Structure 1
């Protein structure tokens, strides 16, 4: 998987992988990422971005709206000391839940790693190793469970295809509500961590 930078009317990164479809991801800072199959041409990707201008504008407006709200009501500071406490709490909280849901779903997994990440809430490697963001400890328990289920479902589907989301829904029918919570609130948590620890 490789990453490239491009610019037309809007700057975006391209991440190519073995996926079958094109998709867009808007990061919390407003930066655009295009995920594309290996053989997709730059022209096809450029056209896809141009055709998605309304989606891009809408999500950037939402990000700006959240930014203004945060300026009026800034989230509490997440210091390095706080991160260490969150890592310790996550290390005792997340593995038992992973074991519970893995048994429920009939999947196996490798090692579990807890980190303070700037962009992801969780990930699953091809070998089944799981990684979780310690900031999950600042989210509701049901949101934490959603992220765990999401990553374990990658043990059945290493993609975000309709089949993958069916796996998630089978275990957690209300997953959309928890995913929406992260979209609305997760960015503020991550930005608070970054701002405190990059000074």
Structure 2
């Protein structure tokens, strides 16, 4: 892979990705982090890819302009926790604490992003573990390891060995949405697909799953707009 730039204000970084499976040029703009990727057949001259990109510059900039603006946690800002916006305030102690509708964060302001991220990961782990245990018992299945990550394209996954992965950003979504993702992944312990039988298992333990899926499609990218680096 290599990177090139579209000149302008602002300049746009584009990753060129050669693929043996690609039969044509294709552009993708991630609505999660704004990353622009141009996939191209392995033997296509790079100049043709660059010419294609120049032709599609307006399309790229339009899609980038439709992304939610990046948001940064800082004192005085409001951040969603279980779907409710709470104010980030100075706190005491060693870690962030949710108290009386405020997220109290100790230490200097430059430590706020890292401490809020740690808070979200800790709380997401506790709630997702509890939801996973509850739904696994309801379906009569077991599971392996449970891990938390920050993937760009999915909210959870289940391997054939039964290991589950969840996005810790789900702690910012409404609790019912977080629970739905746990139900979805646990149901994969019975069906490793998205067949009618799979959705019947999901519906049995999470009857309102369709609404929670719609919420993620409509609002999920706003959770990825928060930057904790």
TM-score for both structures, normalised by structure 1: 0.62
When residues 116 and 192 of structure 1 are mapped into structure 2, their CA distance, relative to the original with a 3 A threshold, is same
2:138 is paired with a residue whose SS is helix
Map 1:16-165 to 2 at 5 A: 28=32, 29=34, 67=67, 70-71=68-69, 75=71, 77=73, 79-165=113-199
1:11 aligns with 2:27: yes
Q: Which has the higher strand share?
A: 2
| Structure 2 CA distance for aligned equivalents of residues 190 and 111 of structure 1 | 25
Q: Which has the higher helix share?
A: 1
How far the C-alpha of 1:81 sits from its partner, in A, is 2.5
Contact 1:75–1:188 (CA<8 Å) still a contact in 2?
no
1:131 is paired with a residue whose SS is strand
Aligned position for 2:109: none
How far the C-alpha of 1:109 sits from its partner, in A, is 0.6
| Structure 2 CA distance for aligned equivalents of residues 121 and 99 of structure 1 | 18
Deviations 1:132-176 (A, max 9, x none): 111111011100110000000100111122222222122222111
Q: What is the RMSD computed on CA atoms of the aligned residues?
A: 3.0
Bigger Rg, structure 1 or 2: 2
Contact 2:71–2:225 (CA<8 Å) still a contact in 1?
no
| Structure 2 CA distance for aligned equivalents of residues 160 and 96 of structure 1 | 24
| Structure 2 CA distance for aligned equivalents of residues 189 and 119 of structure 1 | 12
TM-score for both structures, normalised by structure 2: 0.55
Contact 2:147–2:164 (CA<8 Å) still a contact in 1?
yes
1:6 is paired with a residue whose SS is coil
> Between Structure 1 and Structure 2, how many residues are aligned?
148
How far the C-alpha of 1:180 sits from its partner, in A, is 0.8
